[in-house]
């Protein structure tokens, strides 16, 4: 009997081991799922990719515009809610919208009179905001179809998106190959790694344009959230949001967030920069910029307990309080996108840098590699 039972037990153990390994493999494969999101007017199928980490945090990304469509994060009671503005359908993203969740470029933010001079050549870009260019033109990276590829990462589920931007697309010189890797780390971070190369001298400034509301409800305003920005200075702008070229101290202004401050307490101040933008929409000059990733800002929602920290290797960050959202657009679940119901913290080089010699350079040349890393880390307290 023993000689029969022993092999049987070995076989059963191996069977359970194989089942367990198969179950674990299936679980790993479930960390990224893919579904059809819609079809463009030109007939191209667009997909929605869902990444889930070991904490059950979940992000959905579409290859249209490399857009973060939703991001589900737990509150202090471990209740998950979507904390980024977006739409339920591809059709809504194709229509004009405020860049919800998109990768914007080639040059995020604004360029004065939609032009710049490089190596003695002046390039006229497409002016899509009056005489200026905003976020890459009429059909910037937010309107392009990216190639998506699931990749392996020890940090957590990762999705790589690539796009080839043709020479003189929206007026920019050089054939540009750009990639963005979204990783939902098991440390509860949404990590964004950028990389690009060009075959002609060009300029490049990329960011993600997600709109956050840490309360988990877009019926709430973000005015009670607490913000910290590690910046002693900012780049003042004119009434068209074009930088003057100066760097000014935040001290004794409503732009001083060197200590955590409730966003709504000073937003309606009579300060000229706030009047121009109808609230916060300025570029802060981050302290200790040296090209390495470091903590730059944080947001805390005391009601939900959600805490978001932003790490970046960029010299600037644009803080925007959704001043021009007016409820006309209906977001996910039909909820109106109202004024100040979300905020952006866009890591970047400074607006209009190519037209200001004293700003950090955004020039990319053949043989050089553009890289950037930004991390949004989530926790509760």
**Does the pLDDT value for residue 306 go beyond 90?**
yes
Query: Is residue 21, in this structure, part of any structural domain at all?
Result: no
- Do the domain assignments include residue 15? no
225 is catalytic: no
> H or E element: which one contains 234?
strand 231-235
What pLDDT, on a 0 to 100 scale, did the predictor assign at position 30? Answer: 59
Q: What percent of the chain has pLDDT over 70?
A: 92
Does some domain include residue 303?
yes
Is residue 218 in a domain? yes
Q: In which domain, by residue range, is 105 found?
A: 32-380
Q: Is residue 8 part of a domain?
A: no
User: Considering the domain boundaries, does residue 263 fall inside one?
Assistant: yes
DSSP string, 147-176: EEEEE--SSS-EEEEEEEEPTTGGG--S-E
Work out whether strand 207-208 and strand 202-203 pair parallel, antiparallel, or are unpaired: unpaired
Mean pLDDT, the chain, whole residue set: 93
Catalytic residue (one of 169, 170, 225, 346) = 346
State both tokens at 157: 């589920």
Q: What pLDDT, on the 0 to 100 scale, is given for residue 199?
A: 98
Q: How many domains does the chain have?
A: 1
Residue 229 located in a structural domain: yes
CATH number of the domain at 318, please. Answer: 2.70.98.10
- Please give the Cα distance from 114 to 130 (Å, whole number): 9
pLDDT at position 11, please?
Answer: 43
1 — pLDDT class (breaks 50, 70, 90):
very low
Active site residue 189: no
Q: Summarize pLDDT for 80-123 with one digit per residue, the tens.
A: 999 999 999 999 999 999 999 999 999 999 999 999 999 999 99
Task: Tally the C-alpha atoms within 13 A of residue 255's C-alpha that lie toward its C-beta.
Answer: 29
Asked if residue 217 belongs to a domain, the reply is: yes
β-pair partners for 117: 122
pTM for the whole thing?
0.92
Active-site annotation holder among 209, 248, 249, 356: 209
């Amino acid at each position: 009997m023993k000689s029969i039972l022993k092999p049987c037990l070995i076989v059963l153990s191996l069977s359970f081991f194989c089942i367990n390994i198969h179950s674990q493999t299936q679980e790993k494969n479930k960390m990224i799922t893919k579904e059809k999101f819609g079809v463009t007017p030109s007939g191209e199928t667009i997909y929605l990719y869902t990444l889930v980490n070991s904490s059950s945090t979940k992000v959905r990304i579409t290859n249209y515009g490399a857009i973060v469509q939703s991001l589900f994060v737990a509150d202090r009671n471990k209740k998950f809610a979507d904390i980024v503005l977006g739409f339920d359908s591809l059709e809504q993203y194709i229509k004009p919208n405020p860049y919800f969740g998109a990768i914007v470029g080639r040059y995020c933010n604004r360029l004065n009179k939609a032009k710049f001079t490089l190596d003695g050549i002046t390039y006229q870009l497409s002016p899509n905001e009056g005489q200026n260019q905003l976020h890459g033109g009429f059909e910037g990276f937010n309107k392009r179809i990216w190639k998506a590829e699931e990749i392996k990462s020890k940090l957590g589920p990762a999705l790589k998106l690539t796009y080839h931007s043709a020479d003189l697309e929206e007026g920019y010189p050089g054939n540009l190959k750009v990639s963005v890797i979204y990783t939902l780390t098991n440390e509860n971070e949404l990590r964004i790694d950028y990389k690009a190369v060009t075959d002609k001298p060009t300029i490049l400034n990329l960011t993600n344009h997600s709109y956050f509301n840490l309360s988990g409800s877009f019926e709430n305003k973000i005015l009670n959230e607490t913000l910290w920005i590690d910046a002693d200075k900012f780049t003042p702008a004119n009434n068209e949001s074009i930088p003057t070229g100066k760097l000014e101290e935040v001290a004794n202004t409503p732009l001083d967030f060197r200590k955590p401050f409730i966003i709504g307490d000073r937003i309606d101040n009579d300060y000229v920069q706030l009047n121009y933008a109808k609230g916060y929409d300025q570029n802060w000059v981050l302290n200790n910029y040296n090209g390495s990733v470091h903590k730059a800002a944080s947001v805390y929602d005391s009601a939900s307990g959600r805490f978001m920290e932003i790490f970046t290797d960029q010299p600037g960050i644009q803080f925007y309080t959704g001043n021009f959202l007016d409820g006309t657009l209906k977001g996910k679940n039909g909820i109106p996108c109202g004024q100040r119901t979300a905020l952006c913290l866009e890591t970047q080089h400074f607006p209009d840098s190519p037209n200001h010699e004293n700003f950090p350079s955004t020039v990319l040349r053949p043989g050089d590699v553009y890289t950037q890393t930004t991390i949004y880390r989530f926790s509760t307290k």
